[in-house]
Amino acid sequence: MPARTRDYWDIDEILAEEYEVMMTSFYNIIGGGVLYPNSGGSRPRDLKAGFKVCVPLGLARKLALRDVVDIELPAHFGEEMQESLRVDPLVCRLGEKSPYYFEAGMKIASLLKQPALEEILMEAFRRRWVEIVTLTPSHGETLSFNPVKDPVHSFFPHTLTAVEEDFSKGSKEAETCFRKYLHKFTHSNIEVASHLVDLPESKRARV
């Protein structure tokens, strides 16, 4: 699961904070007029109190920590979506909502002090990770089922977020390397140990 701590140099952290959220300012923000939607005309210089604008999560977070704005919970993480994640997270098209759905969601849940949302995201991430492992052959063996014939198994790979895509690719690459390693020993010869050479003929035959 994406870490709850911030890493200033982590590109994924930066991209996750590009997720847009709706915020409402408590005060007039001098020079904040640049946040107004660009309708082609001139924009006011300042952002007026009570006006609602859509901004990147990173900016909204900094203003919210200073008690300057109020942030709305995005619909992507609302009650309806939370219920879908509880029931069956494998069929939720999370990658379409945001490549950094879990990272953004954890930041928003922490910012809005919603521990229930954090738990739902954690459990959904865990269940989806288990599915990734299930769909990856292990130890050189083939899958015991045909994922193409199962609607959930066949649909799930199209719902992945960026971090899940990395997990999936990494698992497949590891399995490919393991199969190549095993292939080197396909035609190996097994020889009788030297300390067995002097055994009686009757026992040597059983060896």
Q: What is the mean pLDDT of the chain?
A: 82
Domains belonging to the chain, first-starting first, are: 20-73 (3.40.5), 74-186 (no CATH)
**CA 60 – CA 22 distance, rounded (Å):** 8
For tokens 């199969």, name the residue. 179
Q: In what order do the strands lie in the sheet with 20-25?
A: 52-56, 20-25, 69-71
pLDDT tens, position by position, 121-166: 999 999 999 999 888 776 555 555 555 556 667 889 899 999 999 9
Alpha carbon distance 8, 45 (integer Å): 31
Give the list of residues 6+ apart from residue 54 with CB closer than 8 angstroms, or none.
20, 21, 22, 23, 37
Q: Tell me the pLDDT tens digit for each residue of 76-88.
A: 999 999 999 999 9
Phi and psi at residue 52, to the nearest 5°: -100, 130
3-state secondary structure of 166: helix
- Alpha-helical (H) ranges within 30-135 are 57-65, 79-87, 94-97, 101-111, 115-134
pTM over 0.95: no
pLDDT value at residue 207? 41
In the block, residue with structure tokens 């990395």: 166
The string of pLDDT tens digits covering residues 9-28 is 778 888 999 999 999 999 99
What is residue 194's three-state secondary structure?
A: helix
